[in-house]
Amino acid sequence: MPDKPNIAIAGITGAVGQEMARCLEQRNFPIGNLKLLASARSAGKKIRFRDQDLIVEELTEHSFEDTDIALFSAGGDISRQYAPLAAEAGATVIDNSSAFRMEKDVPLVIPEINPDDAARHKGIIANPNCTTIVTLVGLNPLHRQWHASKLIASSYQAVSGSGAAGILELEAQVKALAEGNPVQPSVYPHQIAFNVIPQVDQFLENGYTKEEMKMENESRKILGNGELCASVTCVRVPVYRSHSVSVTVQFLEKPDVDRARSLIDAAPGVDICDNPSEGLFPTPLDTTAKDNCLVGRIREDIVLDNALTFWVVGDQVRKGAALNAVQIAELLI
């Protein structure tokens, strides 16, 4: 890998693509050439990067010649079509979709947890699901100490997880209701304004959604813990940005609350925010546009033996997607 690799971002006009560019700039990532790629309808647009106006190009099968690292955030179908072509052209692909996450030969990487896995790639590295990233950044320090065996979690996921359309739907419904007008759901199956919807992604035959099963399957792969069992309920809430997750974890060994706080506070990518008596605990607004996740409400679980319950919050657009991808790119150089 050259000292200043040539970078391509596929899906630059989306929220995560734009955040990827922002992370590259803010972290002073060394870049030889930056190529911005999107659909034909976005080609020709100008995007400001490091005091220059860069022109968005149409994504084609020839887009990745002379590219060292390709950051993909254009959806699973685009990734399945173009990521292998980028890898064949010599680029290392870091893909934000679910297209390759569970493939055996594709590393699934959170740099604070399993950075060494990135070196085992064969052209493609997968970025985990945003809710998985936020949860595991908080859980990992505890797992390394006491060995997690069972995970029960409920997520409270922001509408920006559905892209710009989710934000616009929430805004439009709040305005309509404030003016006494009816709302017509489009992005979500029910009204999202002043409501919560216990469905994120499609339902499967087992009664769970795809999003919920990602937590179990991806967590096993990232933590290297094939015995981990997880039961997850994913909920969409009327929050613009940052996901929150209520987590109960049972360990093979007896955990300690004070030790848990110390372990999390010393871990990379996560900070402690835990003093309920003074109203100190994480909220979505506390992490929006921030790199680190926040953990609070740590306590012994009173139902399960050897278990802790905690609350973790993180910006799913940034750490849950764009920043994590850029951190993987940093591992490559």
Q: Are 269 and 112 in contact (CB under 8 A)?
A: yes
Q: What is the pLDDT of residue 246?
A: 98
Q: What is the pLDDT of residues 298-330, one digit of tens each?
A: 999 999 999 999 999 999 999 999 999 999 999
Q: How confident is the model at residue 4 (pLDDT cuts 50, 70, 90)?
A: very high
The question of whether 23 is a catalytic residue gets the answer: no
Stretch 178-192: mean pLDDT: 96
Q: How confident is the model at residue 51 (pLDDT cuts 50, 70, 90)?
A: very high
Q: Which of 120, 123, 92 is nearest to 107 (CA)?
A: 120
Stretch 279-297: mean pLDDT: 97
Rounded CA-CA distance 270/313 in Å is 10
Using a pLDDT cut of 70, give the percent of the chain over it: 100
What does the domain layout of the chain look like in residue ranges?
7-127+321-332, 132-316
Q: How confident is the model at residue 162 (pLDDT cuts 50, 70, 90)?
A: very high
Rounded CA-CA distance 142/124 in Å is 29
Q: What is the pLDDT of residues 231-251, one digit of tens each?
A: 999 999 999 999 999 999 999
Q: What sign for the dihedral angle of Cα 36, 269, 249, 108?
A: positive
- DSSP percent split of the chain into helix, strand, coil, nearest 5: 35, 25, 40
Rounded CA-CA distance 127/107 in Å is 9
Q: What is the pLDDT of residue 164?
A: 87
Q: Are 173 and 183 in contact (CB under 8 A)?
A: yes
Rounded CA-CA distance 135/314 in Å is 9
pLDDT at position 144 over 90:
yes
pLDDT at position 148 over 90:
yes
Domain 7-127+321-332, what architecture?
3-Layer(aba) Sandwich (3.40)
Stretch 149-165: mean pLDDT: 95
The question of whether 243 is a catalytic residue gets the answer: yes
CB-count exposure of residue 296 (10 Å: 0-12, 13-18, 19+): buried
Superfamily of domain 132-316 in CATH is: Dihydrodipicolinate Reductase; domain 2 (3.30.360.10)
Rounded CA-CA distance 272/138 in Å is 9
Catalytic residue of the set 130, 234, 273, 293: 130
Using a pLDDT cut of 90, give the percent of the chain over it: 98
pLDDT at position 119 over 90:
yes
Quote the pTM value.
0.96
Stretch 75-81: mean pLDDT: 96
Name the DSSP class of 100. S
Catalytic residue of the set 23, 121, 243, 293: 243
Q: Would the CATH topology of 7-127+321-332 be identical to that of 132-316?
A: no
Rounded CA-CA distance 226/224 in Å is 6
